[in-house]
Amino acid sequence: MWLVRKLRYWQYNKRHHTYIKSLDASLRANYEKEVMISRNVIVSADVSIGKYSYVNPRTTLENCTIGNYCSISAGVNVCPGEHDLQALSSNPLFERKDREKREPVIIGHDVLISLNVVVLSGVHIGNGSVIGAGAVVTKDVFPYEIVAGVPAKHIGWRFDPETIKWIEKTEWWKEEPDRIKEIQAQMLKNNSNELKDK
């Protein structure tokens, strides 16, 4: 049975140009090309992962959409089930039947989620943002914002507002790696010219 499953994953990878090494990653999830899923990663069927994104070991992804070129470190837990604190007991046996379904997590493009992060349901994480190791993300994260802590709080920005505006306008995450290198070279040139003008 194990060998049959392994063969199914091998065939899926070949057909879809993916690198799914974990047999706990549902093949009913949506994986774009060049996605890499390490061993010991759980991906539920209600997950979508964009091209060139990768996920490291001991990570669990549920009920989420992940953009292109994202980097997800080991030990990350996205949209885990939560206990119903309004019920008589927090034990799932007493969970109310009318309880709403968990809201999905939306993760933009080029997001870095560091080691052992937890992202709670309903959170939107903007393009280019960075989540520090061990953070618990309970609210939305702006594009290119850096957050860390429990609960996660703002600690900085990756770039100044003008650079963020320029990057967002390029929508480079829709391109292939060769074209992105050209865009990056243009960004470095722009930064170099700004320094000369100062």
Q: For 75-100, what is the mean pLDDT?
A: 73
Could you read off the pLDDT of 34-47 as tens digits, one per residue? 999 999 999 999 99
Q: For 94-120, what is the mean pLDDT?
A: 86
What confidence score (pLDDT) does residue 95 get?
Answer: 67
What are the tokens at 39? 């061993």
The catalytic position among 16, 17, 83, 109 is 83
177 or 67, which is more confident: 67
Could you read off the pLDDT of 141-198 as tens digits, one per residue? 999 999 999 999 999 999 999 999 999 999 999 999 888 888 888 887 776 665 455 4
Is 83 a known active-site residue?
yes
What confidence score (pLDDT) does residue 195 get?
Answer: 45
- The beta-strand segments (E) located in the chain are 19-20, 30-31, 36-37, 42-43, 48-49, 54-55, 60-61, 64-66, 71-72, 77-78, 105-107, 112-113, 118-119, 124-125, 130-131, 136-137, 145-148, 153-157
Lowest pLDDT segment from 68-77, 84-93, 118-127, 153-162: 84-93
Domain topology for 2-82+100-158: UDP N-Acetylglucosamine Acyltransferase; domain 1 (2.160.10)
What confidence score (pLDDT) does residue 182 get?
Answer: 86
Residue whose pair of structure tokens reads 């990056």 in the numeric block:
184
What confidence score (pLDDT) does residue 2 get?
Answer: 75
> How many residues can be counted in the chain?
198
